[in-house]
Structure 1
């Protein structure tokens, strides 16, 4: 991280900019934060991309698609620019970790156990991407973060959105020379097999310090690298012998001849090789590096919290249409930088759904979805459902598990349990939150019927029990009425207490299933919701996986 330049805006889309994280072919990346202190990586899209008349639609479509991928190996989409705003931008969760490119450049190649573990984990990440019907298309060392629990794949929504614009430094193809599949070079197309090819090239880099089509000490042109990818065999001389055969298979010129991402974990980390979990195979010094980065991040966020007065927000006005957006932080609060780009994120009256409200694209969670002839309808309040439920009766189902399986796989502590004495009370849900809360909203008919459903009513119920931060804390059930059909496209979510900030709590949905299974709605986990206790009500914050027409407040029932 480095300080902002004098020419940088103070905020983008209502999110304050705190530091520069870097720049890539698609745009500048900044460190930002939500109003509750959650760190964000905010990427602005280069202005020349917006010149292409179709880019904005592709950008919205691909971000919505990217948000369908929920796995431990990908970062969460939090928000993005609304239609017509310039510059366009994308905000994802920020992870304080070095990229593989940065680490290898500073410390040299990874040891073989770490390469095995890295490959097996990233293959699992690609499996999640491919199961969602997507391809990453830009797997490269700088798009791999060496995080503590799992390595992470980042930055694929914008790359795919730009795929048809051909606005690249190489002049004709999307991707990174040296890490692209032959079919991507020659035909401009890339599917799951192309990701496998790119992953193998990344692992060659991790094991040797250079890509498979580079010669030692040279800096060839992009055109030369692309020629080698199509016509020459990869250089695997320095790859550990135990890894060379599987990487050679992944680098086959024929897409059909390559292993699949599903097969790769066992090929890269077979049982005979012993345990190679990433957490136990971290390269020497990475743990200390991560701790230093996390401390730097905390210091920066704490300093901003202490010196910057949060912008005033419009108080919820009960049920009804979305509230006006809150004003962006003033330039005076940050010194005298240029004015902020764009407008603050839309604030929606409710807990259900997926951001943007008036026909926008889901911003933080994949909305409930079901086939409708040729049109997939994304429930603007469905799978991104709600942090609370709806109907007079809470769906009778056991408490959800730990987030890795369907609800009911594991039971959570009963409502009478209390936090451990070893954990401070500030790290737990306050007793005043325990119980059942309900609210209703009018829905919204402003959706486009494709990414955001048109709805005529939203009802939610939130049931909470005592829990510590990091534990399952309750469940929400939403009932969202789709305009026209009258179908219930809501979802039921098991919630985990993710953050505590005094009277404000952040919840994460670790499981999500249709409230009415007969509708065929697809509900995705991973949604985040921020609630603040104000008197006898719970009020939705200005961020999270909410949509237009949801209730702005929940009242206590029991």
Structure 2
């Protein structure tokens, strides 16, 4: 991570910017967070693409398409910019892990067993993408994150939209030249076979530290690499013998001769490359790297939640949450963390405090994000406004199952969970209504519910974020703990239905949907 500087806004699309994660051909990537504390990777799109006719519509279409791919190897889309907003951006789940490119540049090639596991996992990723009728089009080392649970393939929504734009404009190509398929290099189009070619090139890089069309200690132009891809055979020196035949078939010049991702996965399994084995094969240095990144992210995501609101930096949306970034004065603790980010020599220090940082951030327990729910809903572009719309005003009710099978010790056993949410028009930052819950304990009949006055904290196109400004037991005589400060994310899924979701402080057994009364 890097410090924010004067060229970085304090927030984009209502999401605070906490640190810079990197910069590439598509734009800058920032660490951000949801209002309830879940870390996000917010990726901006360079202005040159946004100016291309029709790019905004392609961008939104490709993001919707990419959200169809739900798998352990892809990051969920959370939000993206509406048409007309500048800069254009995309917010996804943040994965605290280095890219394959970063890892190899820093530590060198991966061991053979890790390469086999990586190959199996990435075949699973491509299988998930191709199974929806899509192609990634930009598989390269910097788009592979070496996550703790599995590698992840990122960025194909933006990559597809940008590729369409560049083809329309100049007939050119997009992507890292050393990892493009011949048909991409010659601007002849791309699809699933091109992804297979690129995957093989990435695996050669993981195994040898070089792409299959590069030579050690040489610097060549993109034009030379593109020529080699189209006309020369790949260099597989240093590739494990068990993989040479498979990778050579994947690197065939003719797309029709390449195996599918599914066929590659079956071959890999016979070689010992299986999905699910990646976590056991992580190099020790990679585990340390991930732990440090997790610590840094938790520190930056958790710290702003403790601060009073301050004015956002120049260039941020007027009603966006402040980040403590460029143009604002950070408290001493945050200043220390941000200074530490400027040098990797302090990683050992970060590792010692990771546990306490996780404990701080862990006060907000999340399981799903908007746009990543079990129903497979597609995220809508963010559109921040300053008040609760009239359509939300009224009384909303719902009943959940409670927790009848709980152990009665660590979690109360309840046989019903009724919620009444009353909302009225209000400006952002003002009280907008109240939530009353009635929760009955099994056996005793004791009322365990709470009544909360809700402050409107954030407004988006279809979702509202409320904070409990006050909280007390619904039954004043009950000895129930009802802490204030709870965060609730509520999404309108129909004119008369609200989804409480699971982000924030929603309790187990609560209703997932409320209907207008």
TM range (shorter): 0.5 to 0.7
Give, in whole Å, the separation in 1 of the partners of 2:305 and 2:379.
35
Q: Does 1:328 align with 2:320?
A: yes
For 1:276 and 1:364, locate their aligned partners in 2 and report how far apart those are by CA, in whole Å: 22
Structure 1 residues 292, 51: CA separation in 2 closer, same or farther (over 3 Å shift)?
A: same
> Once the 2 structures are TM-superposed, how far is the Cα of residue 217 of structure 1 from its aligned partner?
1.0
- RMSD of the TM alignment (CA)? 4.4
| Structure with the higher fraction of residues in helix conformation | 2
Give the drift of 1:202.
0.3
Show the 5 A alignment for 1:501-540. Answer: none
What TM-score do you get using the length of structure 1 for normalisation? Answer: 0.63
How big is the shift at 1:261? 0.8
Q: 1:57 to 1:337 in 2, by over 3 A?
A: farther
Contact 1:75 1:152 in 2 (8 A): yes
Q: Which residue of 1 aligns with 2:36?
A: 36
Are the structure 2 counterparts of residues 543 and 433 from structure 1 closer, same or farther at C-alpha, using a change threshold of 3 Å?
farther
CA positional deviation for 1:303: 2.2
CA 1:90–1:233 in structure 2 vs 1: closer, same or farther (change >3 Å)? same
Deviation per residue, 1:395-431 (Å, 9 max, x gap): xxxx9xxxxxxxxxxxxx972223885xxxxxx7x77
Q: 1:514 — aligned with what?
A: none
Moved more, 136-145 or 174-183: 174-183
Once the two structures are superposed, the pairs formed by residues 277-316 of structure 1 within 5 Å of their partners are 277-309=277-309
Measured in 1, the distance between the counterparts of 2:94 and 2:4 equals 17
**Superposition deviation, residue 256 in structure 1:** 1.4
Contact persistence 2:492–2:498 (CA under 8 A): no
The 5-angstrom pairing of residues 469-480 of structure 1 reads none
Alignment pair present for 1:77 and 2:93:
no
1-side partners of 2:439 and 2:114: how far apart? 41
Question: Match of 2:238?
Answer: 238
For structure 1, the 5+ residue unaligned runs are 312-324, 339-352, 356-362, 370-377, 381-389, 400-412, 422-427, 442-461, 467-501, 505-527
Distance 1:279 1:464, change over 3 A: farther
Residue 243 of structure 1, CA deviation: 0.8
Q: Secondary structure at the match of 1:31?
A: strand
Cα distance in 2 for residues equivalent to 1:95 and 1:265 = 24
Q: Cα 1:334–1:115, aligned 2, differ >3 Å: closer, same or farther?
A: closer
Deviations 1:406-459 (A, max 9, x none): xxxxxxx972223885xxxxxx7x778962558899xxxxxxxxxxxxxxxxxx
Per the alignment, residue 319 of structure 1 pairs with none
Query: Do residues 250 (structure 1) and 250 (structure 2) align?
Result: yes
Cα distance in 1 for residues equivalent to 2:175 and 2:165 = 12
Deviations 1:228-255 (A, max 9, x none): 1111110012101011111111111111
Q: Distance in 1 between matches of 2:31 and 2:415?
A: 32
Q: How does 1:208-223 map to 2 (within 5 A)?
A: 208-223=208-223
Does residue 164 of the first structure (1) align with residue 110 of the second (2)? no
Structure 2 residue runs of 5 or longer lacking an equivalent are 312-316, 330-367, 381-395, 424-436, 442-451, 455-462, 475-481, 501-509
* Structure-2 residue corresponding to 1:435: 417
CA apart distance, 1:274: 8.5
Kept in 2, the 8 Å contact 1:112–1:207? The answer is yes
Higher Cα Rg, which structure: 2
Aligned pair count reads 404
